[in-house]
Structures are given as C-alpha cells and as structure tokens.
Amino acid sequence: MNQEPPAGRGARQAPLPAGAPRVVPVRHPGRWVAAAVLALLGVMLVHSLFFSHVDIGGVRRERFEWSVIDHYLFNPAVMQGVRNTILLTVIAMVGGVVIGVLLAVMRLSPNPIVSGFAWVYIWFFRGTPVLVQLLFWFAAGYLFPTFTIGVPFGPALFHIDLNATLTPMVAASIGLSLNEGAYMSEIVRAGIVSVDEGQLEAAQTLGMSRLKAMRLVVLPQAMRVIIPPTGNETISMLKTTSLASVVTVQELTFAVEQIAAANYKTVPLYIDASIWYLVVTTVMMVGQYYLERYYARGSVRQLPPTPWQQIRSGAFLRPGRGRYGRFPGVIGGEWAPVLAGQDEGVL
Amino acid sequence: MPEHGPRDLMVQAQAVSKHFGALQVLRGINLEVKRGEVMCIIGPSGSGKSTFLRCINHLEKVDGGRLMVDGQMVGYREHGGRVYELKDREVCRRRAEVGMVFQHFNLFPHMTALQNVTVGPVKVKGETRAQAEQRGRELLARVGLADKVDAYPRQLSGGQQQRVAIARALGMQPKLMLFDEPTSALDPELVGDVLQVMRQLAEDGMTMVVVTHEIGFAREVGDSLVFMDGGVVVESGVPREVLANPSQERTKAFLSRIL
Ligand SMILES: Nc1ncnc2c1ncn2[C@@H]1O[C@H](COP(=O)(O)OP(=O)(O)OP(=O)(O)O)[C@@H](O)[C@H]1O
Ligand SMILES: [Mg+2]
C-alpha cells in the first residue's frame, strides 16, 4: 500500500539552488506490487459478493441474495431488534460502569472487609459464564417468586413480586450489568492506579476526603486510561447482548433468527444483522473519539483538529500538507503517542 | 530567646519519631515554630525532612512523641485526660487549615489554573463559586499570573506551575504553609520568581516551614534554620549564625559540600 510520508516531511521542500544535483527519491516497487495484488483481491471480493450466482437444484440464483437482504433490512421486527439491542447495550454498560467504579474504589479501600467484598464479587462474576448468569436471572422469577427483606421470622420491610418484575428484558439487563461490572472494575482500577499518587496527596492537603479526591481529581484523570478499553467493552457488549436471545429478549439476533426460521433465508438475514451491528459499532467509535478528545484536555498542549475540522480546512485533500499532517482516522488509538506526553513531537 | 507560652506556637514537636517498617526515619525530632515565623530546614538526602513535613500534615502518622499544630495534637484529640484518634472527617478538616507545596507541584492537570485554585474552597469549604473565583483571580494576580487563569498546567512553565500551586494552597486560607523543596525541580532562571512569591508571603506574616536547598533564601527570609541529619535535629538557630559558624561537625561538613 502507498504510505504517506510522515506529516511535514517532504511536504514543502525548499527550492534547490541552481546547479545543484537533482535529487532522486527512493523508489518503492514492492508497494506497487502489493497494491496491485490487493486491488485484484478486492475486485474478486466485490464480484463474489455482488455479481456471482450459484446453481441450487438446477435453479440459478444470486449467491448472496441481496434482494432478500435489502427486503428485510428495515423490516419492523428487525428494527425493533436493533432498538432492543441498543437499549440493552446502553443499560448493561451504564450499569456495568457504575458497578465497576464502585467496585474499583472499594477494591482500593484501606478497609479489608470492603476490599475483600469487591474481590469476591469480581472472582464470582468473572469466574462463571455470562450465559449461566443470564439463565439464572431469567429463572430467578421462578426460584424466588417473591422477594422480601425483613427481620427473619419478623415483619417484612420490603417486598416485591419477582415473577412479575423479572421480565426477560429486566433479567437480561440485571445479568449483563452485574457481569459487566466485574470486568469494568478492573479497567477502572487500572485507570486509578495509573494516576500519580501525588495527585491524591495534593487533593488531601486541600482537605478532601479519599472519596471526594477520587471523584474530583483521580477519576477524571483516570478516564484517559479507562475510555479505550471501555469502548472495547461496549462494542463487545453490543454483540454479547445476542446471548439475551436465549432468555427470549427480542433483540437483533433473535429477531433475524425468528424470521429465518420461517423462510429459511438464514444467510441473508444474518448479513442483515451484521450490517446493523456494524452501523451501531461505527456510531459508537465516533462517539468514543470525541469522548477521548474531551478527556485529553489538559494533557496535551493543543488538541489536534477533529476529522470534520480537517475536512473543512481541506487538509484531507492535501495529505501531508495540513498543519498537522493527515489525521490517521476515527479509530481510537491514534492518540496513544499524543497521550503518552510526546505531544509537541507528534503535533 | 524570649519567653513564650504554647499559644504562640504554631508547630511544636517533642521527640517525634517515625518508622517505615524496620527503618527509623525520624529519631526524636524536637523543634518549635512560632506564629509568623519562617523556619527553613536543610539537610542531606534521606535525612527525613520530607517525612517530617508530611507528619505535620498527617499524610504520615507519627508513631512516637508529640506533634502539635496550633495547640492541637496532629491526628488526635485530647479530652478529659484521654487521647482519641480523630475520625477521617476531622483529619480532613484540620488538613484544610495547613497548606502544602510539593517539589513536583502536583497541580491537577485536568483543571485550569483558576479551577486548581478554586476547587478546594468550593468543594471542601463550601464557598460559592463566584466568591472563590474572585479570590482565586486575586491570588493568581498576587503570584504574577493574572493572565494565566485559564491556562492548563501543561501550558505553563515549571515556575508558573509552582506559583499556581502556591496560590492553590493559599486559596484555602491556611494558618500554616509547608514547602517541600519548592524550587528543586525548576530551571535556575525560574527559581527567582517562586522565591519572590514566598518572600512576599513571609513579609505578609504567614507562618512557613520550608525545606530547601536555597541557602540565600534561608539566610535572608528565614527567621530560623534547622539542620537535620539521620532523623534528628543536629543544629538550629538564627540562619546567619548557623551558616557562618556552625557548631556541629556534621553541619560544617554538609555546608562545605553545598556552599
Ligand atoms: N513510604 C515510605 N516507605 C518506606 N521508606 C520511606 C518512605 N518514605 C520515605 N522513606 C525513607 O525514609 C527516609 C527519609 O525520607 P525523606 O523523603 O523524608 O528524606 P528527605 O530528607 O526528604 O530527602 P530528600 O532531600 O532526598 O528529599 C529515606 O531513607 C526514605 O527512603
Ligand atoms: Mg524530600
């Protein structure tokens, strides 16, 4: 592939004085060969996806049945599945992050009972399959039709009818949140310990309690370390929600499975589901990019322009000529050298 | 020295000792800092200077002797002939009354200079934002950074960062300021600005304990000078006298190395 030279270099060369020898740039024949091979493979892929046919029982038809894919892409049941999948992902991640932050702070608590509790929680929820946890919460309505907190053998203080409350959606939300909390807590803990201890001390000398210092000083700085793996978790969760189909939640995978069970168009329908998963993932990655940008404030001297700002300034059209060079893309991770503190060098 | 009662004392250390595991870092520190006094502490690396400062602020727990700040035992409350360990909330309340400035500034990088100065007053003392910001701006102006209120720490030079850190500590209106080698991490040409701010603070009557290697500052601004080595106070007195004719061999050896 044709790689751009690093930003700035080679972009604006000073004119050579008259009589100076002509400079012959290094040639890269290997790149052209690689590009040709990849282009050929690309054409083959496009042909196979969109223009090829198969014979089944003497009937010639489109290999991937794009007409079927197209027909079901915006099917109401599929759309309902997309909505439920997004809803479940958001609930599970919000729940997971809240539980994760609490567990991480507990895990780092000087109180051994508090940190021990966090340890046991993480041990249990990471150590058992999430599918089993989902099935448990689904079955909990039958195992414990009612849930009562009260004095043993005495009056009840709190009472709910679990059989009615634990709908499939609620059971899946609880199960995924509790499970995600265990994983998130380790990510949050990694973020917290990455913040210099001097920050906690400086906050304490201002009279802040440990919790206040965590909330106002340590966690905001830990965010830079926490966000990239949390983006990972969110995208992973988007797909994990398909497990909720086993407890009859009408999410995306379940929706296409039901349609396919009736018309046997299994592959096109799974492609429909994949298209939607990709669309949602893309939106999430853009969101992550802006979130990382927000939490990078103060850790870089000057934020690079967003891709949108670069498009408007035309930097994209003139690779290597923009003030910042070409922006590597939307995918999180291009910030790594910037965040590592080598900002001036990179910008 | 004139007679004075304990009411005049801001810091009073009697046989203060501190261990880290098997290592005894403080071996019976005795010293007194009067209200309004500027005490400078010098001594070789590892002699326990930082540890002692951190004990005053209860960032470290003293494990022997008595350490009093403003007439109250650090970390404890005396009542009816008994000594009670303080609850966390009380420890925080007392810490809020003592400012501390670190060698590496420890500014909050995700906050602007002004936010660094106002976060304590607003979130700890419960002042209104408007009130805290007004005083924050005054303080930043006082340390010569009126034009940097909205800058993030990374956008400031080391000397400017340290002056923000001083303003941040002053924002809490402390009765005592602790400085732990505030200029050691700075380029030589930036040291002067920070020392100038500290000198002004001393003239305004702030009680200060300053661990420093700036002998000139200690001589001109300090009211007293303490030389620490091996976890004890080896020698103390008026800076000019201690520096001109130290009475202890160890002090002489140390001064000959750094002067
Ligand atoms: N948290 C700790 N755990 C174990 N040992 C410690 C700890 N903090 C300090 N020490 C040790 O205590 C001794 C005194 O340290 P301290 O930081 O007080 O010295 P200092 O006089 O401030 O030195 P410097 O001039 O280098 O800052 C050193 O030997 C140090 O290694
Ligand atoms: Mg020190």
- For ligand 1, say whether the CB of B48 is within 6 Å of any of its atoms: yes
Residues of B in contact with A220 (CB under 8 A): 110
Rounded mean pLDDT of A209-214?
94
- Give yes or no for B99 touching A (CB within 8 A): yes
Nearest CA in chain B to A202: B106
Range in A9-18, A78-87, A250-259 the model is least confident about:
A9-18
- pLDDT at position A332 is 38
* Residue A102 distance to chain B (closest CA, Å): 20
Residue A193 Cα to ligand 1 middle (Å): 21
CB contact (8 A) between residue B110 and residue A221: yes
What is the average per-residue pLDDT within A94-111? 95
Alpha-carbon span A324 to A305, nearest angstrom:
8
pLDDT of residue A314: 65
Looking at residue A315, its pLDDT comes to 56
Which of these, A18, A42, A38, A40, lies nearest to A30 by C-alpha position?
A38
pLDDT per position as a tens digit, B10-24: 999 999 999 999 999
End-to-end CA distance of chain B: 28
Are A264 and A72 spatial neighbours (Cβ–Cβ below 8 Å)?
Answer: no
Task: Between B196 and A8, name the one with better pLDDT.
Answer: B196
Return the ligand number nearest the Cα of B46.
1
Task: Say which range, A157-166, A330-339, B40-49, has the weakest mean pLDDT.
Answer: A330-339
* Residue B196 predicted with pLDDT over 80: yes
Task: List the beta bridge partners of residue B243.
Answer: none
Query: CA-to-CA distance for B126 and A212, rounded, in angstroms?
Result: 13
Look at residues A279, A311, A306 and name the one whose alpha carbon lies nearest to residue A294: A306
Residue pair A181/A100 in contact (Cβ under 8 Å)? The answer is yes
How far is Cα of residue A218 from the mean position of the Cα atoms in its chain? 23
Is the confidence at residue A338, as pLDDT, over 60?
Answer: no
Q: Residue A13's pLDDT is what?
A: 53
Distance from CA of A347 to the nearest CA of B (A): 15
Question: If you measure CA to CA, which chain A residue comes closest to B168?
Answer: A206
A58-67, A296-305, B246-255, range with greatest mean pLDDT: B246-255
Q: Which amino acid is at B209?
A: V
Q: Is the pLDDT of residue A47 over 80?
A: yes
Q: What percent of chain A stands above pLDDT 90? A: 53
Where is pLDDT greater, at B62 or A63?
B62
Select the residue from B105, B110, B176 to test the A interface by mutation, using most A Cβ atoms within 10 A.
B110
**CA–CA separation, A177 and A239 (whole Å):** 14
A204 and B CB contact within 8 Å = yes
Euclidean distance between the first and the last CA atom of chain A, given in angstroms as a whole number: 24
Cβ–Cβ of B108/A217 closer than 8 Å?
yes
Three-state SS for A157? Answer: strand
Give the residue, B45 or A165, on which the prediction is more confident.
Answer: B45
The phi-psi region of residue A307 (left if phi > 0; otherwise alpha if psi is between -120 and 50; otherwise beta) is alpha
Residue A23 pLDDT exceeds 50: yes
Q: Identify the residue with better confidence: A238 or A18.
A: A238
Answer yes or no: is pLDDT of A267 > 80.
yes
Show the DSSP H helices in A144-218 as ranges.
162-165, 168-194, 197-205, 210-213
Q: Is B59 in the pocket of ligand 1 (CB under 6 A)?
A: no
Q: In what order do the strands lie in the sheet with B9-20?
A: B23-34, B9-20, B64-69, B72-73
The string of DSSP codes covering B144-168 is T-GGGTT--GGGS-HHHHHHHHHHH
User: Which pLDDT score is estimated for A301?
Assistant: 61
The whole-number average pLDDT for the span A97-116 is 94
- Residue A170's pLDDT is what? 93
Least confident among A240-249, A301-310, B100-109, B238-247: A301-310
pLDDT surpassing 90 at residue B227? yes
**Where residue A346 falls among pLDDT bands split at 50, 70, 90?**
very low
Does the CB of B120 have a partner CB in chain A at under 8 Å? yes
Q: Evaluate if residue B249 carries a pLDDT over 70.
A: yes
Tell me the mean pLDDT in the region B147-173.
Answer: 95
Report the chain A residue with the minimal C-alpha distance to residue B157: A301
In the predicted model, what is the mean pLDDT of chain A? Answer: 83
Q: What DSSP letter does each residue of B31-82 carry, written as one string?
A: EEEETT-EEEEE--TTSSHHHHHHHHTTSS---EEEEEETTEETTEEEETTE
Mean pLDDT across B118-122: 97
CA distances in angstroms from B224 to B40, B46, B101, B258, listed in the order given: 6, 21, 20, 19
Instruction: Using an 8 Å CB-CB cutoff, list chain B residues near A297.
Output: 110, 152
- Mean pLDDT, residues B222-230 taken together: 96
Cβ contact A85:A280 at 8 Å: yes
Q: Which residues of B touch A199 (CB under 8 A)?
A: 106, 108
| Model pLDDT for residues B26-75, shown as the tens digit of each residue | 999 999 999 999 999 999 999 999 999 999 999 999 999 999 999 999 99
Query: Taking residues B212-236, what's their average pLDDT?
Result: 95
pLDDT band at A154 (very low <50, low <70, confident <90, very high): confident
Question: What type of residue sits at position B29?
Answer: I
